[in-house]
């Protein structure tokens, strides 16, 4: 009886591991893909005007350490997720608006990426 119980427990453990491992891997991949998607969105829409790795001006201000600064470079509004999102969505005199071009998911991924700069 003990041999059957040990085999049964071993089988259940392997089955549980087999079911849980793919779920763990997919959630790890999802968090990585968001960051990658944000970088891709940045390269496609922002990189032509903004440096990601320095604060120097390109056509627009460089975005290195954007979320570590107290205020946005040109509007001087405080740097928060809401003010950065508003700047991207509405644009300014020198910057086009991206509110209609980027989906909510794209915007979230972009904001997440900007926080890593």
Could you list the mean pLDDT of each consecutive 10-residue stretch along the chain, which spans 117 residues? 57 53 47 68 97 96 96 93 97 95 96 96
pLDDT of residue 9: 52
- Annotate the chain with three-state secondary structure: CHHHHHHHHHHHHHHHHHHHHHHHHHHHHHHHHHHHHHHHHHHHHCCCCCCCCCCCCCCCCCCCCHHHCCECCCCCCECCHHHHHHHHHHCCCCCCCCCCCCCHHHHHHHHHHHCCC
Q: Would residue 97 count as lying in a domain?
A: yes
Residue entry with tokens 């001006």: 57
Q: Would residue 26 count as lying in a domain?
A: no
Indicate which CATH number applies to the domain containing 55: 1.10.760.10
* Domains in the chain, number: 1
Domain that holds residue 90: 33-114
pLDDT of residue 89: 97
Q: Would residue 2 count as lying in a domain?
A: no
Cα-flanking dihedrals φ and ψ of residue 23, to 5°?
Answer: -65, -40
pLDDT of residue 5: 61
pLDDT of residue 32: 47
Spatial distance between the Cα atoms of 65 and 83, rounded to a whole number of angstroms:
15
């Amino acid at each position: 009886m003990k041999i059957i119980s040990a085999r049964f427990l071993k089988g259940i453990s392997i089955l549980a591991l087999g079911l849980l491992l793919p779920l763990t891997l997919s959630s790890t991949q999802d968090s990585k893909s968001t960051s990658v998607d944000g970088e891709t969105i940045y390269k496609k829409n922002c990189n032509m005007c903004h440096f990601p790795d320095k604060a120097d001006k390109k056509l627009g201000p460089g975005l290195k350490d954007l979320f570590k600064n107290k205020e946005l470079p040109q509007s001087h509004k405080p740097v928060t997720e809401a003010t950065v999102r508003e700047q991207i969505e509405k644009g300014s005199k020198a910057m086009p608006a991206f509110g209609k071009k980027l989906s909510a998911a794209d915007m979230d991924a972009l904001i997440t990426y900007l926080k890593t700069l």
